Structure 1
Amino acid sequence: MRVLHFFKTYWPDTFGGVERTIHAIAKGTEKHGICSEVLSLSRSPDTNTMLFDGHMAYKAKLDFELASTGFSCDVFRHFRELSKEADIIHFHFPWPLMDIVNLATRHGKPTIVTYHSDIVKQKTLLKFYQPLMFRFLGGMDRIVATSSNYLRSSEVLRAFSSKTRVIPLGLSEGDYPVVAEETRVRWSSRLPKRFFLFIGVLRYYKGVHVLLEAARQTGLDVVLIGNGPLEDELKGKVRQQNLSNVHFLGALPDEDKVAILDLSLGLVFPSHLRSEAFGLSLVEAAMRAKPMISCEIGTGTSFVNLDGETGLVIPPNDATALSQAMTRLWNDHQMALSYGSNARRRYETNFTAEQMAQSYMELYREVASSR
């Protein structure tokens, strides 16, 4: 069976949460006889079209971007050609151009869409896009929500609940390198003895401004891995307030990230807006048996991190609540260990890439046989 994944970006141009999910599905379902291909946009389509970890990553030329949406004239031709060879088209929402391509090409193939997030920031543009969005989602054979929390809290998903399935995102330990002893020693000597860790792109919905205020209130050491649009602004705030306990490391390779995660007391994940639909960094922390602190925003973050079981869940955008949660874990070593052990068990039960791939394989077969 051939499956064509379609999303606005993919490796090697970017490799964020959605891209990692596409990769995990493609790699995991290959073991079950699924041949996956991925089509996305790129400013260097010829150079960046390549074989990636067992599947082809095709690129169409990115012409311009508007409101976080990539546009391309070339993508219609590429999609039409690739969809002819596919048994199933697997879309990854949101990306408005994808809706247009789907309608314009009239490919007639069975369709699945993984609904990664509501559209949160572009409220004005959403009013104009909504008719197309509902037509696109209404035409899908199946819709996949990444958590039961998101299915319940999304007004859009509730309108299509009868054909929506929940398949949690998953990660494979095998996709992460074994940490060399010299890497562990290097970071152990460079970082504070005890610290909380943040992992993620520095975007508007990540709540890092709240984390910085909590670091100011508590004086506890906080290490941040990742870069992004707000990096300069956040670093400026740290300099202005002279927060010597806040340490920005930038984007790092996976081996370094895993080494630092292992050294940390736990993961702080202060995302405060629904743009954070799941939080793969939480799954990474659970995989390494680390306790977590996250916010209740009605999305998958509270599906991964269960309050009082795998960590602490606090109100969003509340620096005082975050300070108190960090202090509790800092002062109660046994609680932190217990939450971490529970998180590891929850990862093994719910969030492995193998489980996710198995669920998608079954859904592919169901959709293909229903046509």
Structure 2
Amino acid sequence: MDKKINAGMEILNISSLRSHIFKTSTVLKITKYFYPKYGGIETRNFEVSRYLAKNGFEIYVSTSKHEKNLNDFEIYEGINIRRHKILFKAFNDVFYPGIIKDIFRLDYDLVHVDLPDPVNSIFAFLASVIKNKPLIITYHADIEKEELEKFPASLILKFYNIIFKFILQRAKKIFVTSRDYAKSGRNLKILCPNYVRIKVKTENYQVCLP
């Protein structure tokens, strides 16, 4: 399979970034939580989004409204944040149907999603297919199967694993946090890694670029 998994550290300037990865200007990032919620993935997403927004990219983030007092839409640090009401939570994931409107209404050149995130990875896959746009994945870890061993979670996981193969195959590029994990990750073993080391330096620290 002709697939590139990118890992490691290399600083690229913004001009080479455009030509080497995106060749685009508008990015739709689909993530279950975003600013002002902070965590490992959330902080990384915010730093990368802010960096790209400051360097000429238009960034749309479609995410959940995890607190009732948050605005449905706001522009913060140049990032267009669109928050949607959570319909339900299950198995450490959230479902917010408002994301469907963003997929159809927004004009974007590229779709990005962080994994593991079963629900949003499916939406990102659909956004990529429906609009015929490239899909970029940042792969943080495999799904912890121990948490999903009991029925009905085990049945849902089996169904998702079938879809998951198509999601990985759809991705134009997959970014991982380290070369070792790219080799050892259970789900990444179905791909043929061709390592290109890419990272972008933000104001505070280095983060993997989607």
Question: Normalization by structure 1: what TM-score?
Answer: 0.43
- Partner of 2:171, secondary structure, is coil
Is the contact between residue 30 and residue 124 of structure 2 (CA under 8 Å) also seen in structure 1?
no
Amino acid in structure 2 at the alignment position of 1:89: V
1:38 pairs with one of 61, 72, 88 = 61
Equivalent residue number for residue 51 of structure 1: 75
Distance, in Å, in 1 between the alignment partners of 2:69 and 2:133 is 25
CA deviations over 1:163-188 (Å, ceiling 9, x no partner)? 67554686643xxxxxxxxxxxxxxx
- Return the match for 2:148 from 105, 122, 128: 122
Distance 2:101 2:194 in 1: 30
The 1:109–1:64 alpha-carbon spacing in structure 2 relative to 1, beyond 3 Å, is: same
SS at 1:51 equivalent: strand
Match of 2:166? 135
Contact kept in structure 2, 1:145 and 1:167, CA below 8 Å: no
- SS of 2:38's partner is coil
Contact 2:32 2:63 in 1 (8 A): yes
2:45 to 8, 18, 22: 22
- Report which of the two has the higher share of strand: 2
Counterpart CA distance in 1 for 2:197 and 2:148 is 26
Task: Check conservation: 2:73, 2:83, Cα contact below 8 A.
Answer: yes
**Is 2:94 aligned against 1:94?**
no
Could you report, residue by residue, the CA deviation over 1:260-294 in whole angstroms, capped at 9, with x for unpaired residues? xxxxxxxxxxxxxxxxxxxxxxxxxxxxxxxxxxx
Q: Which residue of 2 aligns with 1:67?
A: 91
Per-residue CA deviations over 1:208-231 (Å, capped at 9, x if unaligned) read: xxxxxxxxxxxxxxxxxxxxxxxx
Partners of 1:145 and 1:165 in 2: CA distance? 11
In 2, Cα distance between the equivalents of 1:72 and 1:62?
5
Kindly state the Cα deviation for residue 60 of structure 1 after the two structures are TM-superposed.
1.8
CA distance in 2, matches of 1:57, 1:63: 19
Q: Which has the larger radius of gyration?
A: 1
8 Å CA contact 2:137–2:173 kept in 1: the answer is yes
Cα distance in 1 for partners of 2:91, 2:201 equals: 29
Kindly indicate whether the alpha-carbon contact (under 8 Å) linking 2:28 and 2:59 is maintained by their aligned counterparts in 1: yes
Per-residue deviation, residues 12-57 of structure 1 (Å, max 9, x unmatched): 2x22111111111112223432221211111549724212222111
- 1:80 Cα deviation from its structure 2 partner: 2.0
Equivalent position of 1:2 in the other structure? 26
2:107 maps to 1:76? no
Specify every segment of 5 or more residues in structure 2 that has no aligned partner in the other structure, as ranges: 1-24
Measured after TM superposition, the shift of residue 122 of structure 1 is 2.6
Q: Deviation at 1:150?
A: 1.2
Shift of 1:102: 3.4
Partner of 1:147: 178
- Structure 1: which 5+ runs fail to align? 174-351, 364-371
2:191 maps to 1:160: yes
Q: Which structure: greater helix fraction?
A: 1
Q: 2-side partners of 1:158 and 1:28: how far apart? A: 31
* TM score, norm. by length of structure 2: 0.73
